[in-house]
Amino acid sequence: MLTQTRSFAPAATLPRFVLQLVAASGVAAAAANPARAQSAAQGAAQGSAQGAAPSTASLALPEITALVKVEVGISKLRDSVNLQLAMQRNKTREMQEALRELLAKRTGEVIKAGGLTEQEYSRRTFVIATNNAARTSYDSIVIALTGSPLAGAPVPVAAAAVPTMPPGPAGVHIGHVVLAFGDTPMGRGLLPTAIAEANTAAQHAQLAGRQPTNLDYMKTHAAHVLHALDPSLVPMGPGLGYGVKKAAAAVAAHIELAAGAQGATPNIVTHSAHIATSARNTVARADQLIALAQKVQAATSATEAASLVNQMASLANQLVAGADANSDGRITWEQNEGGLQQADDHVKLMLAAAGGR
């Protein structure tokens, strides 16, 4: 197990911001107004209960509130560690592994600090993913605790920093990648959808490795990984129901449509190639992860499954962060290296250059 058999890099070599993040996120959650959260959730639950089909699994409001606090902490932790993974000074293999191990370790600490066992955390996330009334209450509590609207919720125009797309057909296809696309959950852009699903896959790949002697537990989280990668394989789970594989393939397709559109500038053509390559790297990694997760599900012993889960956790982190395939100390957009982070970096470079014309 990465989190059990490897030693962490000395604290002095890791970014202090990352080491302090768990405490900070815990304070942020504890500072929230619990009365406001409970009131919002009760109203949402009452509204959802009317006409809702009976469910075999449900959560009480205090259970949902505790889960939200844990998820907010994990989300902040994951976002910050992913940022550190993408920084040039952290591109060495040692730092990449140390940061990933730190993320896995701190995720477990956040879950424990929230008063949950890993088994109970897994149960509650599954209920939220499969029970509409519980999900509505969960979303209301997220808004009450964080003060931020959920992705896809209406917000005042002035509050949303929407990047300006280049003019013409090229800009339309770039908008599909960045801003919105018709068949994604809540109409999000294809790249944000891919990143969200990849984060879910990575989270459950890490969780799968926390009980290496529990075959059923590993199989449960392998199924969650499969759902986030390709929900046609496992229809129910904690993801968005779109899948990393479909979203990343669509990113590559639409960014290449932008590059081939009439009026596409050299800047768009250049960065589109970088984005498409990183997206297709992600599709290839998703296929490899699917094969690993299916082997976990077919395993007949915990020992067999644990070895596969180790590989699955390492590869899942590469969906966003990419990998230093040629061991030169950096991760670029190139084949076998770039991940969704590099795709996002080159989208930003492309839009910045387009805005400066």
CB proximity list for 51: less than 8 A, separation 6 or greater: none
Whole-structure pTM over 0.75, yes or no? no
Is the per-residue pLDDT at 45 higher than 90? no
Task: Give the pLDDT band of residue 86 (cuts 50, 70, 90).
Answer: low
Residue 251 CA to residue 139 CA, distance in Å, equals: 27
Is the per-residue pLDDT at 4 higher than 60? no
CATH of segment(s) 154-357: 1.20.1420
Is the per-residue pLDDT at 29 higher than 60? no
Pick the range with the lowest mean pLDDT from 208-212, 246-250, 268-272.
208-212
The predicted structure's pLDDT at residue 197: 94
Q: 124 with 63: CB under 8 angstroms?
A: yes
Task: Give the pLDDT band of residue 59 (cuts 50, 70, 90).
Answer: confident
Residue 142 CA to residue 159 CA, distance in Å, equals: 18
pLDDT, greater one: 148 or 141: 141
Q: 96 with 337: CB under 8 angstroms?
A: no
pLDDT, greater one: 174 or 210: 174
User: What is the pLDDT averaged over residues 250-263?
Assistant: 92
The predicted structure's pLDDT at residue 255: 94
The predicted structure's pLDDT at residue 206: 87
Two structure tokens written together for 327: 């061991």
Task: Give the pLDDT band of residue 325 (cuts 50, 70, 90).
Answer: confident
Percent of the chain predicted with pLDDT > 90: 33
Two structure tokens written together for 174: 């770039």
Task: Give the 3-state DSSP-derived string for 161-201, with helices as H, strands as E and coil as C.
Answer: CCCCCCCHHHHHHHHHHHCCCCCCHHHCCHHHHHHHHHHHH
Domain with CATH 1.20.1420 in the chain: 154-357
Residue 332 CA to residue 330 CA, distance in Å, equals: 6
Two structure tokens written together for 220: 């449960």
pLDDT, greater one: 53 or 57: 57
Is the per-residue pLDDT at 22 higher than 70? no
pLDDT, tens digit (0-9, with 9 covering 90-100), for 289-320: 999 999 999 999 999 998 899 889 889 989 99
Residue with tokens 């068949």: 183
Residue 160 CA to residue 348 CA, distance in Å, equals: 17
Q: 208 with 225: CB under 8 angstroms?
A: yes
DSSP assignments along 267-318, one per residue: HHHHHHHHHHHHHHHHHHHHHHHHHHHHHHHH-SSHHHHHHHHHHHHHHHHH
Residue 235 CA to residue 226 CA, distance in Å, equals: 9
Is the per-residue pLDDT at 27 higher than 90? no
DSSP assignments along 196-218, one per residue: HHHHHHHHHHHHHTT-TT-HHHH
Residue with tokens 């259970």: 63
Look at the chain and count its residues.
Answer: 357
pLDDT, tens digit (0-9, with 9 covering 90-100), for 269-296: 999 999 999 999 999 999 999 999 999 9
Is the per-residue pLDDT at 95 higher than 90? no
pLDDT, tens digit (0-9, with 9 covering 90-100), for 213-230: 899 989 999 999 999 999
Q: 285 with 321: CB under 8 angstroms?
A: no
Task: Give the pLDDT band of residue 26 (cuts 50, 70, 90).
Answer: very low
Is the per-residue pLDDT at 24 higher than 70? no
Q: 230 with 243: CB under 8 angstroms?
A: yes
The predicted structure's pLDDT at residue 290: 97
Residue 84 CA to residue 96 CA, distance in Å, equals: 9
CB count in 10 Å sphere of residue 71 = 23
Q: 170 with 268: CB under 8 angstroms?
A: yes
Q: 347 with 276: CB under 8 angstroms?
A: no
Task: Give the pLDDT band of residue 18 (cuts 50, 70, 90).
Answer: very low
Task: Give the pLDDT band of residue 122 (cuts 50, 70, 90).
Answer: confident
User: What is the pLDDT averaged over residues 246-264?
Assistant: 93
What is the helix (H) or strand (E) element at residue 15, kind and residue range?
A: none
Q: 335 with 308: CB under 8 angstroms?
A: no
Percent of the chain predicted with pLDDT > 70: 75
User: What is the pLDDT averaged over residues 5-10?
Assistant: 35
DSSP assignments along 90-122, one per residue: G-SHHHHHHHHHHHHHHHHHHHHHTT--HHHHH
